[in-house]
Amino acid sequence: MSSMRHAAVSLGSYARRMRDYLREMFPLPGHIVFALLAGSGIAGFTRTVHSVPGGISPGVVAGLTWNVLAMLLILRLMDELKDKDIDRRLFPGRPLPSGRVRESDIRSSLGAMILLYLLANSQARVPLVGALIVLGYALLMFKRFFMPARLQASLPLTLVTHTPIVPLIWLQAFVTAGNGYGIALRDLRWELIDLYVVMLWSGVLGWELSRKIRAAEEEDDYVTYSRILGRRGAVAAAAGAQSVSVLIGVTLNVRYGPGAACLAIIGAGAAACALGYARFLRHPDPRTSKLKSFATMFLFALLLAQVCSFALARP
């Protein structure tokens, strides 16, 4: 009885630590909404361009939502372990370096998430192979592609080597959606899927660039794009990536979407981003440099527009 009581107490302590960790480092409500929007849009687009009759399948949407959410959490947990020495030096208040969560908690959670991710994709061969490819690339990232010194010394090289995980996640989602709708891999319309994937990839790239832009007085040992490219160059790079998303989004929505309302959502997200960038460039200071929130708004607007165009629209 005492051993069972001890195990229950240990499990409860682990759950509390991970609950607090997730609240701070991976807020579940926002990430669930993001994954649901992404999964719904991909399911709807797959159905639309392949002329699948009927509405979108709740089962397909649920599977895609889980895959996106699970991989985002796997990547977050991997980053926690991979960057623990950097965080100890630059961000000592974060949960792991401060001791509010244990390294064993992170490792146990990572192992459980990888197992659940693979189990969820084990019902069919093609989605499972896709999941293994995504997970394999994530593990290469975790090992810093076996050249940690070079990657730590070069933020652009890190960007180039790490961001391909994003299109791999989207491509695996399309493969899973196709399988759910009974569409063979060879019959998927890859020319349109690739455009959709680039659209979402560019939106995430803009977000990644925006979150590492700072005002001059905020710069420290943490390497940022504003230090490498200058404030204007970093903002231009983020805006350029988001412009690619807008261009492709408008093209796909005009060709396959139901009307102007969905285009207005993309426009609103882009306008919010543009205003945030303009304010920062006019008055660069710690108050105006929080560009991540604007890039997040753009990304959610982009995903919401796809849901309106393809998931909610009539087939």
Q: How many CB atoms lie within 10 A of CB 72?
A: 17
Name the DSSP class of 311: I
pLDDT score, position 198: 97
Distance of CA 141 to the CA centre of its chain: 15
pLDDT score, position 259: 67
Report the Cα–Cα distance between both ends of the chain, in Å, rounded.
59
Please list the ranges in the chain whose pLDDT falls under 50.
none
d(CA 290, CA 286): 7
Distance of CA 263 to the CA centre of its chain: 22
Name the DSSP class of 291: T
Residue listed under structure tokens 């208040």: 93
pLDDT score, position 213: 94
**DSSP run (H or E) holding 79:** helix 58-82
The phi and psi torsions of 32 (rounded to 5 degrees) equal: -65, -40
d(CA 120, CA 122): 6
**Considering only CA atoms, which of 32, 29, 54 is closest in space to residue 43?**
54
Read off the tokens for 100. Answer: 């509010």
The model's pLDDT over 4-63, given as tens digits with 9 standing for 90+, comes to 666 666 778 999 999 999 999 999 999 999 999 999 999 999 999 998 988 888 999 999
Read off the tokens for 258. Answer: 């139901």
Domain architecture of the chain: domains with CATH: 27-186 (1.10.357.140), 189-315 (1.20.120)
Sign of the torsion angle spanned by Cα atoms 232, 235, 238, 243: negative
d(CA 259, CA 251): 12
d(CA 225, CA 156): 8
pLDDT score, position 3: 66
* Cα Rg, the chain, nearest whole Å: 21
pLDDT score, position 258: 74
Judge contact between 48 and 306, C-beta under 8 A: no
Judge contact between 44 and 55, C-beta under 8 A: no
Cα 266 to Cα 35, 85, 289, 301, distances in angstroms: 18, 39, 23, 6
d(CA 278, CA 235): 9
Classified as helix, coil or strand, 272 is: helix
**DSSP run (H or E) holding 110:** helix 103-120
Q: How many CB atoms lie within 10 A of CB 261?
A: 12
Residue listed under structure tokens 């939106």: 203
